[in-house]
Amino acid sequence: MSDQSTTDAAVASITPEALKDRIDAGEDVFLLDVRSEADFAEWRIEGAETINHPYFDLLDGIPEELQEQLPEDRRITVLCAKGGSSEMIAENLQDEGFDVDHLERGMKGWARIYEYQELETDADATVAQYRRPSSGCLAYLVASEGEAAVIDPLRAFTDEYVQDARTLGVDLTYAVDTHIHADHISGIRDLADETGATAVIPEAADARGVDYDREYETVADGDTLSVGDAEIEVVHTPGHTTGMTAYKVGNVLFTGDGLFTESVARPDLEDPEAAKDAARTLYDSLQEKVLPLPEDTVIAPAHFSDSATPNDDGTYTAELGDLVERMDALTMDEESFVEFIVDGMPPRPANYEEIIASNLGREAPDDETAFELELGPNNCAASEEAMTD
């Protein structure tokens, strides 16, 4: 860019929420991600044109080759891990005459975005989906007649669930996990402490050696939990883990990590050596417990990936019949399914061993450590690009 006189004007900033609004609105967003190449490769903000150039190469100014890649007629948003480096680089770009701002709190701020959207269902309850865009984590609130349950809550967003229950005028009676998660720190214990709700885990998940410092209940296949006028049916669907359990409310099946809208579960996070056996178990769970359900059953998973297509309201659900039509894995024979699932699985979630240990109660990270552990993509699905037509 042509030489410009420097200015002392403070560089503008943008909040993570405002940036996401721009991306969702289809605006022509341009990002300069100045994190390391490894961090950028692991996880990034999707939906915008992005260039990655590590900030340590920009400490002495903006090289000409990078300036030639940057647009002169669009605003550039610079981002880093925590927001400090991006502000410095944005100031240098501003001095060069570019229209620029930087992302407040960086990718850590992006990871704090949490969205709430109620679903249309035939359940005797209000059913809402929570979305964490940074990692693809999904959780759910089921509220009926003054009572509520949260399914697969994240510890980092305990206050969100409490506030939403208060807004709806309901008491949180249950905090429920579908299994022992490997990608995020569960919030069931914190919700139980905060609200007096009963923490609930599947009986088969408890058998992995859960050691909580507070009381909790277990549920098994065929059990029910009552939330106001709504009944939550327990459906054991092992495969992703031995304890993997779905919960059904009306025509909605909360599948946890057993079935997603773009793929099925990976089977290697509990015991990598037993991945093939777990894949066969997953095949049986899908064939015997999930696929026999009515075609209009709404599949509400615990995760979505970048390849998942959101509904018009931004939620990630799909009718079972639609998934059967477009997902190859659901119509394969067992041996083809096992081979397809086990071959070509993506990298395991970052820090998954420490996260599992925390969710079993064997480790007790503080809030900040817990948040740092779960930064990045969830990677709990099999290779979804090969799974759908």
C-alpha span between 259 and 193 (Å, rounded):
30
Confidence of residue 245 (pLDDT cuts 50, 70, 90): very high
Q: Which amino acid is at 273?
A: E
What pLDDT shows up at residue 376? 84
What's the distance, CA 167 to chain centroid?
A: 24
What pLDDT shows up at residue 321? 98
What pLDDT shows up at residue 6? 45
C-alpha span between 126 and 141 (Å, rounded):
8
Cα distances from 262 to residues 41, 93, 139, 157, 161, in angstroms, run 21, 40, 17, 25, 27
What pLDDT shows up at residue 135? 92
pLDDT tens digits for range 272-294: 889 999 999 999 999 999 999 99
**Which phi and psi angles does 49 have, rounded to 5°?**
-70, 130
Average pLDDT over residues 59-76: 93
Average pLDDT over residues 334-347: 89
Residue with tokens 């394969």: 332
Indicate which residues carry an active-site annotation.
80
C-alpha span between 3 and 145 (Å, rounded):
66
Paired sense of beta strands 252-256 and 298-301, if any: parallel
The CATH number for 12-110, chosen from 3.40.250.10, 1.10.3720.10, 3.40.50.150, 3.40.190.10, is 3.40.250.10
Q: Name the pTM for this structure.
A: 0.92
What pLDDT shows up at residue 343? 87
What's the distance, CA 375 to chain centroid?
A: 10
Domain boundaries, the chain: 12-110, 115-386
How high does pLDDT run on average in the chain? 93
C-alpha span between 340 and 180 (Å, rounded):
24
What pLDDT shows up at residue 1? 54
What pLDDT shows up at residue 189? 98
User: Does 387 score more than 70 pLDDT?
Assistant: no
C-alpha span between 224 and 142 (Å, rounded):
14
CATH number for the region 115-386 comes to: 3.60.15.10
Average pLDDT over residues 190-218: 97
C-alpha span between 257 and 305 (Å, rounded):
12
H, E, C per residue of the chain: CCCCCCCCCCCEEECHHHHHHHHHCCCCCEEEECCCHHHHHHCCCCCCEEEECCHHHCCCCCCHHHHCCCCCCCCEEEECCCCHHHHHHHHHHHHCCCCEEEECCHHHHHCCCCEEEECCCCCCCEEEEEEECCCCEEEEEEEECCEEEEECCEHHHHHHHHHHHHHHCCEEEEEECCCCCCCCCECHHHHHHHHCCEEEEEHHHHCCCCCCCCCCEEECCCCEEEECCEEEEEEECCCCCCCCEEEEECCEEEEECCECCCCEECCCCCCHHHHHHHHHHHHHHHHHHHCCCCCCCEEEECECCCCCCCCCCCCCCEEHHHHHHHEHHHHCCHHHHHHHHHCCCCCCCCCHHHHHHHHHCCCCCCHHHHHHHCCCCCCCECCHHHCEC
Cα distances from 171 to residues 6, 95, 195, in angstroms, run 57, 54, 8
Confidence of residue 386 (pLDDT cuts 50, 70, 90): very low
